[in-house]
C-alpha cells in the first residue's frame, strides 16, 4: 500500500484577541469559545493561553474531522505549563465516544514547562473527532494553561500491505498465538490478530483478581472475559485459559483464614471458573510461576518441594505460605475434577535456566507418577508445560534446546508461551515507552527470533503452540525494549520477516 505522509507543524500566528469562535483557530489548534488568547509568555511567542476555569475536559483541541473514516498514525508534541491548582495533564483523542490517551503527564508541577509527546493509531469515526487537552482537576478561576510549540505529524494509510499469515507459515508445525486485551479487540490490532494467529491467551481478564469477587461471597465478573471468548471463537480462534492460581493478581480474601479455608477457596475458584468456560476453552494454565529463581544444582538434586517459591526465597508467595507446596498438586486435582476434558498446564518463566528447568521437570514427573500410581489416574494430571519466552538480547538459544530435550522426556505437550525479546538495557516496563530501534539492534533481535523458530520447528513433534506476548512495540508491557514483531504503526519489523522465513533470514544475515 502506498504511504502518504502529511506533516502538520503548527506555527503560531500573532493573534492578540480572544478567540470567540472554534473556527477562528491558530493553524488548527483552538480553545473553547471565550477561553483562549495568543500571547507572549516566559520568553516564548505565539503561546496559547487558556483560562482553565471555563472547562476541564476539552481545554484546547485540534480537529481531526478531515481524516474521518481514514486510518491515521499521529505523532504529537507540545510544551504545556499550568499556573494555579494542582492536577494531572493529558491529551486525548475524542473518537466516537472513546477517549484514548495520546500523552499523559501525572502530577504535573505548576509554574514549570512540561514537554508532552505521544503517538497513536486511530480511525476518526464521529462527527467531531479531535485531539484535546484535559486537565483532570476541578479548576479554579485562577487556573491558567499555556501551550507552546505544538506539533503534529499525521500519516495517512501508513500501514504496510497484507503479509503472509504466520498461522499459514506454521500450519504444519504448531499453533501460532498472541494475547488478547481490550486494545486488541477492535480495529487494526484485531485485524492483525485475526490475520496471523489462531489461538489467543487473555493477557489479564481471566486472572483471579479480574474474575473473582473483590470480597468473599460476591459475584464473579464474567463480562469482559466472556466477550473475549465469544468473539475469538466466532472468528475461528482457540482460547488458552490463563490463569487459575498465581501469587499475583489474587484477591486477598482467597488466602485469608485458616489453611483449610484457603484450600476450600482455591478449589471453589477453580471449580467455578472451569465450569463456567467448559466446552469453550480446551486448555488452561492451572498454576503459574510457582518455582523460585536462583536455584543451584544442589537444590535440584533434592525434593522439588524445596524449590517452590516461598516468602523466605521470594518476596511474595501467599499460597505457599498458607498451604505449603502441596497447593500446586491440590490445584491440578481440583481442575481435573472440575473439567475432565480440559488439558492442564503448568506455566513458568526462566526455563532456559537449566536448574529451574530441572526443578520444574522433577515436580511434573513426580505429580504425574503419583497421580497414576496412587490415585488411579488413567492419564497424566499435568499434561502440558508452558515455557514462557520473555527473553532479551543475551539469550543463549542452545539453553532453550536443552530445556526442550529435558521436557521432552516427560511425554507431555510443550507450549512456548509469552514470547517476546526485549532489547532494553533499563528493564523499564509499561506500554508507550517504545523508541526507534537502531538497524543493528533490529537485525540482532530478528536473528534471535529466527534461531528460536528454527529450533521450534525441530521440536514440532512435541511443541503444540507458540504464543507471542504482544502484537506491537507500543502496546507491549515491555515497550521500552521494542520486543514485538510489529512497530507502533503496526508495520512489520525485521523480526516478522525472520519468523516468516528463518532459514532465509539467517542466510541473508549470516555471521
Active site residues per annotation = 289, 348, 418
Grid cell for residue 79: 510544551
- Specify the pairing of strand 114-122 against strand 238-245: unpaired
Burial class (CB in 10 A: 0-12, 13-18, 19+), 9: exposed
Grid cell for residue 423: 532489547
- Specify the pairing of strand 413-422 against strand 384-392: parallel
At residue 449, the 3 state secondary structure works out as: helix
φ and ψ at residue 186, rounded to 5 degrees: -140, 170
Give the integer Cα–Cα distance in Å for 427 and 223: 33
For 21, other C-beta atoms within 10 Å of its C-beta total: 9
Greatest C-alpha distance within the chain: 87
Whether residue 246 contacts residue 309, with contact meaning beta carbons closer than 8 Å, is answered with no
Cα radius of gyration rounded to whole Å, the chain: 26
DSSP 106-158: TTPPTTS-EEEEEEEEE---SSS-EEEEE--S---TT-EEEEEEEEEEEEES-
Whether residue 80 contacts residue 113, with contact meaning beta carbons closer than 8 Å, is answered with yes
Grid cell for residue 121: 493509531
Amino acid at each position: 500500500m502506498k504511504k502518504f505522509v502529511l506533516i502538520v507543524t503548527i506555527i503560531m500566528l500573532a493573534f492578540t484577541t480572544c478567540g470567540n469562535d472554534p473556527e477562528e483557530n491558530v493553524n488548527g489548534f483552538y480553545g473553547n469559545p471565550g477561553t483562549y488568547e495568543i500571547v507572549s509568555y516566559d520568553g516564548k511567542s505565539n503561546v496559547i493561553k487558556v483560562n482553565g476555569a471555563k472547562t476541564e475536559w476539552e481545554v484546547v483541541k485540534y480537529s481531526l474531522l478531515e481524516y474521518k473514516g481514514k486510518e491515521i498514525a499521529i505523532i504529537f508534541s507540545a510544551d504545556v505549563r499550568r499556573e494555579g491548582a494542582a492536577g494531572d495533564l493529558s491529551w486525548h483523542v475524542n473518537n466516537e465516544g472513546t477517549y484514548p490517551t495520546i500523552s499523559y503527564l501525572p502530577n504535573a508541577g505548576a509554574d514549570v514547562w512540561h514537554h508532552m509527546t505521544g503517538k497513536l493509531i486511530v480511525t476518526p469515526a464521529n462527527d467531531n473527532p479531535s485531539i484535546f487537552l484535559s486537565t483532570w482537576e476541578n479548576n479554579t478561576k485562577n487556573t491558567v494553561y499555556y501551550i507552546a510549540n505544538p506539533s503534529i505529524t499525521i500519516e495517512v494509510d501508513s500501514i504496510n500491505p497484507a503479509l503472509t499469515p504466520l498461522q499459514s507459515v506454521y500450519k504444519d508445525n504448531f499453533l501460532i498465538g498472541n494475547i488478547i486485551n481490550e486494545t486488541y479487540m477492535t480495529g487494526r490490532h484485531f485485524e492483525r490478530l485475526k490475520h496471523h494467529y489462531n489461538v489467543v491467551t487473555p493477557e489479564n481478564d481471566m486472572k483471579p483478581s479480574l474474575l473473582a469477587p473483590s470480597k468473599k461471597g460476591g459475584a464473579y465478573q464474567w463480562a469482559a472475559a466472556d466477550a473475549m471468548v465469544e468473539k475469538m471463537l466466532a472468528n475461528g480462534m482457540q482460547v488458552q485459559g490463563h490463569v487459575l492460581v498465581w501469587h499475583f493478581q489474587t484477591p486477598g480474601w482467597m488466602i485469608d483464614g485458616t489453611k483449610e479455608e484457603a484450600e476450600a477457596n482455591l478449589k471453589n475458584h477453580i471449580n467455578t471458573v472451569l465450569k463456567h468456560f467448559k466446552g469453550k476453552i480446551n486448555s488452561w494454565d492451572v498454576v503459574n510461576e510457582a518455582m523460585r529463581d536462583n536455584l543451584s544444582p544442589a537444590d535440584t538434586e533434592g525434593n522439588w518441594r524445596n524449590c517452590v517459591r516461598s516468602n523466605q526465597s521470594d518476596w511474595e508467595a501467599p499460597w505457599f505460605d498458607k498451604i505449603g507446596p502441596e497447593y500446586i498438586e491440590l490445584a491440578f486435582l481440583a481442575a481435573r475434577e472440575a473439567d475432565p476434558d480440559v488439558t492442564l498446564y503448568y506455566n513458568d518463566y526462566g526455563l532456559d535456566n537449566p536448574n529451574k528447568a530441572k526443578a520444574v521437570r522433577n515436580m511434573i514427573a513426580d505429580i504425574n507418577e503419583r497421580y497414576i500410581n496412587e490415585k488411579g489416574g488413567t492419564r497424566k494430571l499435568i499434561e502440558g508445560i508452558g515455557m514462557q519466552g520473555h527473553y532479551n538480547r543475551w539469550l543463549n538459544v542452545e539453553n532453550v534446546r536443552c530445556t526442550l530435550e529435558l521436557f521432552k522426556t516427560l511425554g507431555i505437550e510443550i507450549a512456548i508461551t509469552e514470547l517476546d525479546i526485549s532489547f532494553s538495557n533499563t528493564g523499564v516496563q509499561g506500554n508507550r515507552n517504545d523508541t526507534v530501534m537502531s538497524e543493528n539492534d533490529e537485525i540482532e533481535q530478528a536473528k534471535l527470533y529466527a534461531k528460536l523458530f528454527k529450533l521450534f520447528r525441530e521440536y514440532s513433534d512435541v511443541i503444540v503452540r507458540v504464543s507471542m506476548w504482544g502484537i506491537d512495540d507500543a502496546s507491549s508491557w515491555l515497550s521500552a525494549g521494542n520486543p514485538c514483531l510489529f512497530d507502533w504503526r503496526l508495520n512489520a519489523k525485521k523480526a516478522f520477516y525472520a519468523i516468516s522465513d528463518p532459514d532465509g533470514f539467517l542466510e541473508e544475515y549470516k555471521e
